[in-house]
Amino acid sequence: MTDFRYVWESRTIKSSHVLPPDTNCHGTLYGGRLMAHIDDVAALSAMKHSQCRVVTASTDSIDFLSPVKLDQEVCLEAFVTGTNKTSMEVFVKVMAEDLLTAERKICATSFLTFVAIDNEGRPTNVPKITPETPEEMLLHKESIVRAGNRNLRRIDSKKLAETLQVKYSWQNNREVVMTN
């Protein structure tokens, strides 16, 4: 494995026709279905970069900007924007295209983090990235700030999980704390 890889080497594109089973009562793509597409294309991108199996460590954000409608094409583009020792930040841009007019619109953006794992399931090192385009350089530069925010949020999440670890039980339709 080389010490670095270019961003374009991780670029992954996935598209799908939005059909009736994919839509809610508003005639738009289910948010959960789009989230699954995002996780899938981001994982493929992380695997291309690391040339390893990966696991999702975090979904930092999914910003739904406009709906994807029935009979449109949803096209997702993902690429690695930042790396640490064993983890990779992946950016996903989601486009909706009206197949009859060719009008395209960014309908969502997302940042996810993946950890590369070896054959025994342990985290393994990943190559650094080399951004080349202005878009890649901007996202790479900002990835450092997002990584810091992600680490702070993870600390808060661990504290919350410890707090919520208290054993509860239901008595007379009320939740009560169990004592030892």
Average pLDDT on 19-33 reads 97
- Whether 38 has a pLDDT exceeding 60, the answer reads yes
Can you tell me the distance from the alpha carbon of 95 to that of 107, in angstroms, rounded to the nearest whole number? 5
The pLDDT score that the predictor gives to residue 5 is 96
- Whether 56 has a pLDDT exceeding 90, the answer reads yes
pLDDT in tens, 108-158: 999 999 999 999 999 999 999 999 999 999 999 999 999 999 999 999 999
How many CA atoms does the CB half-sphere of 126 hold within 13 Å?
Answer: 33
Beta-carbon neighbour count of residue 62 at 10 Å? Answer: 17
Instruction: Check: CB of residue 38 under 8 Å from CB of residue 60.
Output: no
Identify the CATH assignment for 4-177 out of 3.30.565.10, 3.40.50.300, 3.10.129.10, 3.40.50.12780.
3.10.129.10
Query: 122 by DSSP, 3-state: which?
Result: coil
CA 41 to each of CA 93, 158, 163, 175: distance values in angstroms, whole numbers, following the listed order? 10, 28, 34, 41
Among 128, 22, 36, CA closest to 68: 22
Average pLDDT on 11-35 reads 97
Mean of the per-residue pLDDT values for the chain?
Answer: 93
The pLDDT score that the predictor gives to residue 179 is 56
The pLDDT score that the predictor gives to residue 175 is 67
Percentage of the chain exceeding pLDDT 90: 84
The pLDDT score that the predictor gives to residue 161 is 85
Q: Where are the domains of the chain?
A: 4-177
Can you tell me the distance from the alpha carbon of 168 to that of 165, in angstroms, rounded to the nearest whole number? 9
Instruction: Check: CB of residue 75 under 8 Å from CB of residue 99.
Output: no
CA 89 to each of CA 21, 38, 61, 111, 166: distance values in angstroms, whole numbers, following the listed order? 31, 13, 12, 7, 33
Lowest mean pLDDT among 4-13, 14-23, 139-148, 165-174: 165-174
The structure's pTM equals 0.88
Can you tell me the distance from the alpha carbon of 174 to that of 69, in angstroms, rounded to the nearest whole number? 42
Residue 165 pLDDT class (50, 70, 90 cuts): confident
The pLDDT score that the predictor gives to residue 178 is 63
Can you give the length of the chain in residues? Answer: 180
